Amino acid sequence: METPNLDPPPREALSPNGTAETDHVEQPAAARQLVGRLDATEATIGVVGLGYVGLPLAAEYATQGFETRGIDLDEDRVDCLNAGDNYIEDLDDDAIDGLVETGRLRATAHYDGGDEVDVWFLCVPTPVTETNEPDPSYIEAATRAIAPHLRPGQLVVLKSTTYPGTTEDVVAPILKEEGPDDLTLGEDVFLAFSPERIDPGNDEYTTANTPVVAGGMTETGTEMARRALGQIIADVHTVSGPKAAEMEKLLENIFRSVNIALANELAQFCERVDGLSMWEVVDAAATKPFGFMPFYPGPGVGGHCIPIDPHYLAKVAKTHDFETSFITLSAQVNEEMPRHVVDAVIETIAREPVRLQDAGVLVLGVAFKGNVSDTRRSPADEIIRLLREKGVGQIRYHDPHVDTYAAPGGDGPTEVPSVGLTPEVLRRHEATVIVTDHDAVDPGLVAEHAPAIVDTRNALGSIEDPALREKITLLGAG
């Protein structure tokens, strides 16, 4: 087939009434068509990737009356959703079941009928390789899958967290090479980036009420993204283009990574000073009503974004002859925290009358943050791997949100036995390490019955009994 023309036309804007803001420039018919379908709630929404980002997004559009199709290559996930079964903690089970029942939300494992979709959202993972290089293969595969289904009047929005330039240098060329003939990007098909802002376990800020950022490859593309996202989100902030939106997302997460690293490094210093607690210091500093934001130490960072976003930026920086020394160092500080925690656990066991190979360690919490079931890149992964490497005899875990869990190892993931949290279970483990601060875990029960505790989250901060506090090794306290 002929090479399609997907080079962007001159940048122009679309005013809210559907006319071009650029003087004497007629707005593309495809843009007017898309706006009309969106405003009439007649547009079909396609969401590629039905995980923590994609399913809440799809559910929100379906809730607002749009026919919404979710595409996921995991057929078990597709079957589960089409049966009305919800698998995302932050979504309401009955609400998902109702949306499926009405037919507004359905899932498939293929792209058949993709030409009927008006707005594509790509919500696929963006991992890093073993050498911390960004891996855009999921984005590339999803883009190739939708490319043959492009037609005039469609919008493609990449939502995957990634490095600056991905939309323009990865997605756009694939659409150009593998899309249908005679389509012009910005005239017939519109492309934009709008980063996800999902905070698992946050009941206050959801997909619907969290402001989002969007930047298109043309001004019309930006306006199309604003119009599409504005159907479900009140506050859509537009930027000059995809690179600014991609970089904005990295800034959000690197900001957190850097400040957590600062707290972690100061915590290690506080441990060397008798009577000094980083937790007390942060709480005291947080009384200042301006110029300070509290960040607390912990066993390491987890989830999809914070552990890997610094590596995205480092890769792009090298191509521009720039070294992100400060950001890279911060990431290294966070990545070393599991080893610091394991050292504390080993020292704790050393004070007990037991050999390391006969000792039992109970890991409290394997989710990456409190009150969620998400175990992606949890600090528990590395903590358990290192405990095994040190030769600890028995490692078990308790997590009220995670029924089964496998920790990574040299020969692949290995199941870790799950146990209930009882006085007997606590007493038969020489050391208990609190990795995740779930509200469902009773601090009094742990403090009373565990022989020795390494608390990485200050989860037992409410315990005042001096005899019980003697058993607690608190991360960041001397």
Catalytic residues: 305
CB 36 within 8 A of CB 244: no
CA-wise closest residue to 194 among 238, 140, 235, 259: 238
70 vs 39: CA distance, rounded Å:
21
C-alpha separations of 23 from 224, 281, 370 in Å = 19, 58, 53
Q: What are the C-alpha distances in Å from 313 to residues 38, 135, 302, 335, 436? A: 35, 13, 18, 17, 28
Task: Tell me 300's DSSP state.
Answer: -
- Find all residues with CB under 8 Å of 405, minimum gap 6, and list them: 366, 375, 380, 397, 399, 415, 416, 418
Residue 93 CA to residue 95 CA, distance in Å, equals 5
The token pair at 296 is 């607390």
Could you give the angle at which helices 93-102 and 75-82 cross, rounded to 10 degrees?
A: 80
Residue 455: its H or E element: strand 453-455
Place of tokens 């040190």: 390
Q: CA angle, 431 as apex, 407 and 418 as ends, to 5°?
A: 40
User: How far apart, in Å, do the first and last CA atoms of the chain sit?
Assistant: 70
Check: CB of residue 261 under 8 Å from CB of residue 330. Answer: yes
Sheet (strand 453-455) strand order? 394-398, 360-364, 431-434, 453-455, 472-474
Q: Is 307 helix (H, G, I), strand (E, B) or coil?
A: coil
Instruction: Return the structure tokens found at 14.
Output: 């679309």
Rounded Cα distance between 385 and 11, Å, is 52
CA 176 to chain CA mean position, Å: 29
Query: Quick one: tokens of 444?
Result: 């009094």
